[in-house]
Amino acid sequence: MAEQQYKIGEFGKLVGLSTYTLRYYEEQGLIKPHRDANDVRYFTLEDVKWVGFILHLKGTGMRINELKLYVQLRAQGDSTIKQRRDLLQKTRADAEAEMAELKAHLTVLSHKIDWYDGKVDRTINEDESFENYLQRFDD
C-alpha cells in the first residue's frame, strides 16, 4: 500500500499553515517536500509530524536561525546529537526565563486588579497608593 501523499494545499490544512508559510519554510530549509514524477511537491504523514515538531520549537520562542541550525544538525545524523541537545536545552532555559518574567507581570497585574477591587468595595483605604499596597507582598 502506497503512503498517503498530500499536495501543498491539503498539507497546509493538516498542519494549520498557509501555502505561503509552507513555501517560506521550504525556502529556509525547514521542510523538504517530496516530488512526484511530474515534479509536483507532496508531503506525507511523516512530514505532518515533522512540521508539528517545528511548530512546537517555534512555540517555545526558538528563532528561525536556531530552527535552521537544528534542521541542519539533524540532517547530519547522530554525530550531532550533543549539539542538538544543547540547542534544545538553551531553548528550554530561554522559555523558562520568559515564563518566569510573564508570571511576575501577571502577579503585578493581579495585585492591581485586587487593589482596584479593594478601592471599589472600600476594603482598601481611599488614600492608599498602589505602591504602598504592593509593599504588603514584599518578601
Average pLDDT over residues 77-86: 98
Contacts of 94 (CB under 8 A, 6+ apart): 60, 61
| Predicted TM-score of the model (pTM) | 0.76
Listed by start position, the domains of the chain span: 5-76
Non-local CB neighbours of 51 within 8 Å, separated by 6+ positions: 15, 17, 25, 31
Rounded CA gap, 17 and 2, in Å? 25
Given pLDDT bands bounded at 50, 70 and 90, which one contains residue 136? confident
Cα end-to-end span (Å), the chain: 65
pLDDT of residue 3: 85
- 32-79 pLDDT tens trace: 999 999 999 999 999 999 999 999 999 999 999 999 999 999 999 999
Q: What is the 3-state secondary structure (H, E, C) of 99-119?
A: HHHHHHHHHHHHHHHHHHHHH
Which of 92, 90, 81, 6 is CA-nearest to residue 51?
A: 6
Class of domain 5-76: mainly alpha
Distance CA 73, CA 31 (A): 14
Q: Say what the pLDDT of residue 79 is.
A: 98
